[in-house]
Amino acid sequence: MRRLSLALLAAVAGSSLATPAFAQSATTAAPKIDPALAAAVADPLRKDDAARDVYRKPDQTLAFFDVGPAMKVGEYAPGGGWYSRLLGIYLAPKGKLVGLFADASSAPAPRQEAAKAAVAKFPTEVAEWAKQPAEKFSAFSLGAIPDGEKGTFDRILVMRALHNMLRGNVADSEIKKMRDLLKPDGMIGIEQHRAKADAPYDYTDGSKGYLREADIIKFMEIHGFAFVGKSEANANPKDSANWPEGVWTLPPVLGGAKDDAEKARLKAIGESDRMTLLFRKRP
Q: What is the pLDDT of residue 38?
A: 97
Q: What is the pLDDT of residue 65?
A: 98
What does the mean pLDDT of the chain come to? 91
Residue 74 pLDDT more than 60?
yes
Residue 6 pLDDT more than 80?
no
Q: What is the pLDDT of residue 80?
A: 84
Residue 168 pLDDT more than 90?
no
Q: What is the pLDDT of residue 8?
A: 52
For the ranges 20-34, 50-64, 105-119, 209-223, which has the lowest average pLDDT? 20-34
Global confidence as pTM: 0.90
Q: What is the pLDDT of residue 61?
A: 98
Tell me the average pLDDT across 200-226.
97
Please name the fold of domain 2-281: Rossmann fold (3.40.50)
% pLDDT > 90, the chain: 84
Residue 193 pLDDT more than 80?
yes
pLDDT digits over 15-68, tens only? 434 333 333 346 777 789 999 999 999 999 999 999 999 999 999 999 999 999
CB 142 within 8 A of CB 177: yes
Residue 5 pLDDT more than 80?
no
Q: What is the pLDDT of residue 20?
A: 34
